Amino acid sequence: MARKPIIAGNWKMHNNSAQSKELIKGIRANVDSLDIAKLPEIVVAPVFTSLYAVNEEICHCGCGRIKLAAQNVYFEPKGAFTGEISIDMLKDFETSYIIIGHSERRQYFGETDEMINKKAKVILDNGIIPIICCGETLEQREQGVTDAHIEKQITEALKGLSTEEVAKSVIAYEPIWAIGTGKTCDSTEANRVIKHIRSVVEKVSSAAAADAIRILYGGSVKPETIKEQMAQSDIDGALVGGASLKADSFADIVKGAMIG
């Protein structure tokens, strides 16, 4: 089955509304004229406070070539959860995707596999697509437990989801040692781990879901690395951090992922 590639920019904690507007305008200036039939899905994930401004810019484009993502959501619908944002609030901005389980959220904010599973369910119940992140530390890689660690993360994240829900979800494999370090994971190794993720999806869900689910690579993706990454059999796109903060480099990554 042909899986539509995705290039997603995770802006992390950068850019106020005005800066976000500048960035999305810059991206649009680079991608609006490209052949839409050949484009990957383009996704940008600004901070919550910039969702309104970025959504306005994307809507003006009128062709749906750029989609909006949030960087997180809380799984409860409402209540006394100071500082959190619910799924209903994100629906105000026509959010198509929500990133969950990013290693920075796991590391700095105590996000657990159980929370990530609850978030995945709430997102899918509301017709939005989760981008579920997983990945090992350098220590785990050196200890040879990468595959086992990722198997646990994915198994827990997908618990209780229907095969249809799994099929439409997105996973991002982001080795923690490659994030923000400039040290990209070798493409063939990233592809090997992503194939392993697909086999885990088959085990916990179905062969059809494993074939349909899109699995991205993230970790120091740059315009110079994307072609080789996209040439791999099982890499369906990229979740980009640093290089998504400049319109030119993000657009170059998008161009490198164009089909045909």
* Residues forming the active site: 102, 174
Of the candidate spans 49-57, 77-85, 206-214, 240-248, the one that interacts with ligand 13P by CB under 6 A turns out to be: 240-248
**By CB under 6 A, is residue 175 in contact with ligand 13P?**
no
Of the candidate spans 57-65, 88-96, 146-154, 212-220, the one that interacts with ligand 13P by CB under 6 A turns out to be: 212-220
**By CB under 6 A, is residue 223 in contact with ligand 13P?**
no
**By CB under 6 A, is residue 241 in contact with ligand 13P?**
yes
Is 96 exposed, middle or buried (CB count within 10 Å of its CB: 0-12, 13-18, 19+)?
Answer: middle
**By CB under 6 A, is residue 225 in contact with ligand 13P?**
no
Of the candidate spans 86-94, 114-122, 152-160, 235-243, the one that interacts with ligand 13P by CB under 6 A turns out to be: 235-243
**By CB under 6 A, is residue 130 in contact with ligand 13P?**
no
Site string for ligand 13P, 89-128 (x = CB under 6 A): -------------x--------------------------
Report how far residue 260's alpha carbon sits from residue 108's, in angstroms, rounded to the nearest whole number: 40
Interface residue with ligand 13P among 240, 247, 251, 254 (CB under 6 A) is: 240
Angle of helix 17-31 versus helix 247-256 axis, rounded to 10: 40
Q: Residue 221 CB, nearest distance to ligand 13P (Å)?
A: 5
Report how far residue 246's alpha carbon sits from residue 254's, in angstroms, rounded to the nearest whole number: 12
Complex with ligand 13P: residue 204 or 226, whichever CB lies closer: 226
For residue 99, report the phi and psi dihedrals to the nearest 5 degrees. -75, 130
Cα distances from 174 to residues 11, 13, 45, 183, 226, in angstroms, run 15, 18, 16, 12, 15
If binding means CB under 6 A, how many residues of this protein chain bind ligand 13P? 14
Structural tokens at position 221 = 């993706």
**By CB under 6 A, is residue 180 in contact with ligand 13P?**
yes
